[in-house]
Structure 1
């Protein structure tokens, strides 16, 4: 997985997730991710139970953080946590992200543009984690991140967040 992050002064964050299979792999042929003909823009819970691209944003020097989930269907949600896995609730000021999706047998690409301005008031960059949950056609899940600092994948673990 390759992830690209672009933070704009206007408060927009652009994320691109790109998965590529080598010429011998059937991994993306079995990826359960087809969005169908039209993308939805509705908020939905439990997206992480299936193929889902995620980003975690944290205030430096604070236990607070946010979790963005975007599914190939276009469903999305943004949660605000007071501390590690505590007080999780939908962020009421979240604006629907713009999502693009492309997939074929060799490549899967998800682009997300999220306006952070309504709820991110910090003048500095957030600590950031880029993650993905991938579901195969058999229902098997795999968990992808820049790093898994513990014994098991835990995307909420702040040790895996990039710090600027």
Structure 2
């Protein structure tokens, strides 16, 4: 699935991000219909990468996750993620966003090999709308902190883990063979900058 990154010629905002058209993931890793679907949107204003994820269903959130705070192991519960790989190498980033706005990020130098030389971004801002029926989480990540990857020459995948404890896995990546595994940078698509 082709991922769109909306390009803004002005400074972005969470309100502008929320007003963008959203892309949908309607099937899980194994091709089963997902009802309701998961939605996402990406944008950049040249200074930040903006990411939105939403779903019209209650979420199960990591019990230690706090809005706007860094939290490891968010993937054990419902969340949205993106993976961005360098267009010409093995370097990539993983960014996790919980429905309540908690987040986690890590740079990798190769498949599942964390790059200890690159710290997680410091200036991440998040916002969320969370009810018993739906959630919408948004994040703003400084592009200059996503070292080793250039948004103008990258491959990108949006992913979700949902319906905890009976987790389902959704992704925009092309290769869905084998068991769910989002750490396949060679399967990410080149995004459309629009």
TM-score by length of 1: 0.76
Closer/same/farther in 2, CA of residues 101 and 41 from structure 1, 3 Å limit: closer
Please say if residues 97 and 112 of structure 1, whose CA atoms lie closer than 8 Å, have aligned partners that are also in contact.
Answer: yes
C-alpha displacement of 1:101: 1.5
- The structural deviation recorded for 1:42 is 3.0
**Cα 1:131/1:93, change in 2 over 3 Å:** closer
Determine helix, strand or coil for the equivalent of 1:124.
coil
- The CA RMSD over aligned residues, in Å, is 2.8
Shift of 1:130: 0.8
Matched, 1:131 2:168: no
Per the alignment, do residues 34 and 93 of structure 1 end up closer, same or farther by CA in structure 2, a change over 3 Å counting? closer
Of stretches 57-66 and 109-118 in structure 1, the one that deviates more from structure 2 is: 109-118
Residue 82 of structure 1 aligns to a residue in which SS?
Answer: strand
Corresponding residue of 1:5: 42
Correspondence for 2:167 among 120, 137, 141: 141
Alpha carbons 1:79, 1:90 under 8 Å: kept: no
Aligned length: 152
> Aligned runs of 1:1-164 on 2, under 5 Å?
1-10=38-47, 12-20=48-56, 28-29=57-58, 31-33=59-61, 39-87=66-114, 89=116, 91-92=118-119, 94-120=121-147, 122=150, 124-136=152-164, 139-147=165-173, 149-164=176-191
Counterpart CA distance in 2 for 1:96 and 1:135 is 30
Instruction: Give the distance between the partners of 1:124 and 1:114, measured in 2 at CA.
Output: 15
**Counterpart contact for 2:106–2:114, Cα < 8 Å:** no
SS in 2 for 1:48: helix
**CA shift digits 1:23-61 (9 cap, x unpaired):** xxxxx24x31499xx944332221111112211111111
Q: Deviations along 1:64-123, whole A, 9 cap, x unmatched?
A: 111111223433221111111123548415124211222335432111111121333637
User: Are the counterparts in 1 of residues 107 and 120 from structure 2 also a CA contact under 8 Å?
Assistant: no
Match of 2:15 in 1: none
For structure 2, the residue ranges without an aligned partner over 5 or more in a row are 1-37
- Relative to structure 1, the CA distance from residue 90 to residue 156 in structure 2 (aligned partners, 3 Å threshold; closer, same or farther) is farther
